[in-house]
Amino acid sequence: MTAIEDRNSSEFIRMTLIYIAAMAAITIVSVIYTFTEQTLGLLWREWATGLSIYGYANHRVYYRLKMKGEVGNPDQRIADDVRTYSTTTLSFALILINASLTVIAFSGVMWSISPLLFLVSILYAAAGTFFTFIIGRPLVRLNYDQLDKEANLRASLIYLRGNAESVAISRREGHLIQLNLKNLGDLAANFRRIIGVNRNVNFFATGYNWLIQIIPALIIAPLFIEGKVQFGVITQSAIAFTHLLGAFSIIVTQFQSISSYTAVLARLSALVEARRSAKAEEKSPAIAFSLDDNRVVYSGLTLRSPRSGRIVIKDLSLEIPRGTRVLVRGKDETARAALFQATVGLWEVGEGHIARPKLEQVLLVTEVPYLPPGTIRQLLTTPWPEQERARDSHLVKIEVPEERVLDALSTLKIESLISRFGGLDKRNHWETILPLETQQFLVFARLLLAKPAFAFLDRPHTTLNPEQIDWVLGLIKERSITYVVFEEEENTRNLERYDAILELKDDGAWEFRPIR
């Protein structure tokens, strides 16, 4: 600008070439900077999300969090909040580094031009930061709530899709439409409040940014008029002031991002704290556990209903050695469910002591079979070891030899599934394409492959007829698996497959007697 004022063509060309070279170098650095930031952000997200998934899915943390209901939408926190956390943290870190370098680079330039302008930049940035914080402080809580409300709407829509058949049969669309519209209304109302606060912040920030362009001229122009500085110093001071103030005004320029980021941090912190609490409860449960490879022992076990506090089983003390086949029956469904789940630590309301083998040696077969989407090979994978840990951020894969898989399917006479559904490694949604009976046989195939010490079966009559139940129990016995079957009284006429009966009576009473 000074060369133009002096009409110095050679100096103008020289400075222009220097400027072009500098811009070319800055372009290369900027592209590499963006590429590196995105790559590092992806690596961080991949690592943090994998760690979160393992921490959430291991030790049955997911189950305890669902039962407590203290942390809403943990899936959304892992999928979306971790992404925001990793990319935004990295972005803010780089912004702070850039701001520090900018302050170092331009403070000397600004001070050499005008010490007064340097002090004005500091005071102006401080005032802008203070007023931005006062005006925009409500955004932190509003953004926190908005993330939950977005997740609630998505969850209600996913529920409609996942239960499409049941909804269509029962004609319950009206209720779900109202639920979705309510979630939408809550989301919109909260977002309107966010828009209102953003409007106020933008009013201040826009005026703040416009004044940045005129403040240097107001201070330097009188010096030029008095002949104390050259004309180009006005432009130089404006550029230096803009860069320096940008470095000092990070909170002003990034406040909306910071408020969203703060909400994400709070949500992830709540998830991490809940996960730690769930792990601590597993280590010190109300019902004490110990390991015993050869029997299941209940000592002074009292179980209560989690809602009413009613005692469903009182002071249960008995021993089930390996090889002793037991039938558990009674009218109270809650009592049966409590004992069924408490054996593996899923029913935590009560006190007493349970000795049992490791979890991978105690398999539960639920009334309704659970088959997650996947391949037949994956469905028949043996249980995850109770004490397994991540090793070098990679989970240990538990493989089952193919010949054993084929043998288990053949034993249960369902080997035709392989040819019908594209082999062992073709992914399918089994719950939608297989009848319940076949689904349950697949569950029993996994049981035969795992060969646990004990198998607990909950109301097998729901999916299998009496002849099939006798056949399956015979197969289980042949493999030296001790089974405990939970049934209703009216479905337990055939007692030939059992060695003892545990009767669960009213008011928590019980009776254990051998059959033979």
The three-state secondary structure class of 511 is: strand
Q: Are residues 203 and 185 in the same domain?
A: yes
Tens digits of per-residue pLDDT, 209-235?
Answer: 777 777 777 777 777 777 777 777 777
Q: Are residues 314 and 462 in the same domain?
A: yes
Tens digits of per-residue pLDDT, 473-513?
Answer: 999 999 999 999 999 876 666 788 899 999 998 888 999 99
Domain boundary among 283, 298, 316: 283
Average pLDDT over residues 144-166: 82
Query: What residues form DSSP beta bridges with 513?
Result: 501
C-alpha separations of 289 from 166, 265, 277, 363 in Å: 40, 36, 18, 16
Domain boundary among 260, 283, 306: 283
Average pLDDT over residues 20-49: 91
Rounded Cα–Cα distance for residues 297 and 300 (Å): 10
Q: Are residues 119 and 196 in the same domain?
A: yes
Average pLDDT over residues 77-81: 84
Query: What residues form DSSP beta bridges with 482?
Result: 454
Q: Are residues 238 and 362 in the same domain?
A: no
Would strands 295-304 and 350-356 be described as parallel, antiparallel, or unpaired?
A: antiparallel
What is the arrangement of strands in the sheet containing 326-330, beginning at the earlier edge strand?
362-365, 454-458, 482-487, 326-330, 500-504, 510-514
Q: How confident is the model at residue 152 (pLDDT cuts 50, 70, 90)?
A: confident
> What's 428's DSSP letter?
B
Average pLDDT over residues 301-323: 91
Residue 84: partners with Cβ closer than 8 Å, 6 or more residues away: 260, 261, 264
Average pLDDT over residues 386-411: 67
How many domains are contained in the chain?
Answer: 2
Of the two residues 197 and 239, the one the predictor is more confident about is 197
Of the two residues 339 and 268, the one the predictor is more confident about is 339
Q: Are residues 213 and 242 in the same domain?
A: yes
| The pLDDT of residue 6 | 82
Give the residue from 51, 49, 99, 55 showing the smallest Cα distance to 76.
49
Q: Are residues 63 and 198 in the same domain?
A: yes
Q: How confident is the model at residue 282 (pLDDT cuts 50, 70, 90)?
A: low
Q: Are residues 352 and 494 in the same domain?
A: yes
CATH code where residue 88 lies? 1.20.1560.10
Give the residue from 325, 356, 329 showing the smallest Cα distance to 343.
356
| The pLDDT of residue 112 | 79
Rounded Cα–Cα distance for residues 20 and 174 (Å): 65
Reported pTM: 0.65
Q: Mind spelling out the 3-state secondary structure of 224-240? A: HHCCCCCCHHHHHHHHH
Average pLDDT over residues 289-311: 90
Give the residue from 383, 376, 387, 409 showing the smallest Cα distance to 398.
383
CA 229, 231, 233 angle in degrees (round to 5)?
Answer: 65
Q: Which stretches of 350-456 are DSSP H helices?
A: 376-379, 402-411, 416-420, 430-433, 436-450
Count other Cβ atoms within 10 Å, centred on residue 27.
10
Rounded Cα–Cα distance for residues 454 and 293 (Å): 10
Tens digits of per-residue pLDDT, 94-147?
Answer: 888 888 888 887 787 778 777 887 888 888 888 888 888 888 888 888 988 888
| The pLDDT of residue 491 | 64
| Structural domain that includes position 441 | 289-514
| The pLDDT of residue 123 | 86
Tens digits of per-residue pLDDT, 337-381?
Answer: 999 999 988 888 899 999 999 988 999 999 988 888 888 888 888
Beta carbons of 376 and 417 less than 8 angstroms apart: yes
Least confident stretch, 141-150, 389-398, 433-442, 488-497: 389-398
C-alpha separations of 295 from 194, 323, 324, 362, 511 in Å: 59, 9, 9, 11, 19
Q: How confident is the model at residue 392 (pLDDT cuts 50, 70, 90)?
A: very low
Q: Mind spelling out the 3-state secondary structure of 453-466? A: CEEEEECHHHCCCH
Q: How confident is the model at residue 390 (pLDDT cuts 50, 70, 90)?
A: very low
Domain boundary among 221, 254, 283: 283
Give the residue from 65, 59, 44 showing the smallest Cα distance to 393.
44
| The pLDDT of residue 393 | 41
Q: Are residues 189 and 332 in the same domain?
A: no
Rounded Cα–Cα distance for residues 407 and 410 (Å): 5
> What's 286's DSSP letter?
S
Burial of 315-330, coded b for 16+ CB within 10 Å and e otherwise, reads ebeeebeeebbbbbbb
